[in-house]
Amino acid sequence: MSEQDARATETNAARPRHELSSGWGRALVFTYGVFAVAATGRSAVQLGMYPDRAPLAYSLSLLAAVIYLVATTCLLLGGRWGWRIATGAVVVELVGVLSVGTLSYLATDLFPDKTVWSHFGQGYGFLPLLLPVAGLAWLWHTRPGRVPEHPGT
pLDDT (tens digit, 9 = 90+) per residue, 18-37?
A: 587 888 889 999 999 999 99
As for how many domains the chain has, the answer is 1
Buried b (16+ CB within 10 A) or exposed e, 105-117: eeeeeebeebbbb
At residue 10, the 3 state secondary structure works out as helix
Tell me which DSSP letter residue 56 carries.
Answer: H
pLDDT higher than 80, residue 82: yes
Q: Measured between alpha carbons, how far is 72 from 131 in angstroms, rounded to an integer?
A: 12
Q: Give pLDDT, residue 118.
A: 94
Residue 80 belongs to some domain of the structure: yes
Residue 13 belongs to some domain of the structure: no
The rounded Cα 117 to chain-centroid distance in angstroms is 13
Q: Give pLDDT, residue 17.
A: 45
Q: Among 75, 73, 116, which Cα is nearest to 93's?
A: 116
Mean pLDDT in residue range 126-132: 96
Residue 10 belongs to some domain of the structure: no
- For residue 137, the enclosing domain spans 21-141
Split at pLDDT 50, 70, 90, the class of 131 is: very high
User: What is the rounded average pLDDT for all residues in the chain?
Assistant: 87
Residue 151 belongs to some domain of the structure: no
Split at pLDDT 50, 70, 90, the class of 113 is: confident
Q: Are 115 and 61 in contact (CB under 8 A)?
A: yes
Query: Out of 5-14, 42-51, 94-103, which region has the weakest mean confidence (pLDDT)?
Result: 5-14
Q: What is the pLDDT of residues 32-57, one digit of tens each?
A: 999 999 999 999 999 999 989 999 99
Q: Give pLDDT, residue 24.
A: 87
In sequence order, what DSSP letters do the residues of 57-124 get, joined into one string?
HHHHHHHHHHHHHHHHHHHHH-HHHHHHHHHHHHHHHHHHHHHHHHHHHH-GGG-SS--SSGGGGGGG
Residue 1 belongs to some domain of the structure: no
Residue 7 belongs to some domain of the structure: no
Residue 4 belongs to some domain of the structure: no
At residue 136, the 3 state secondary structure works out as helix
Residue 14 belongs to some domain of the structure: no
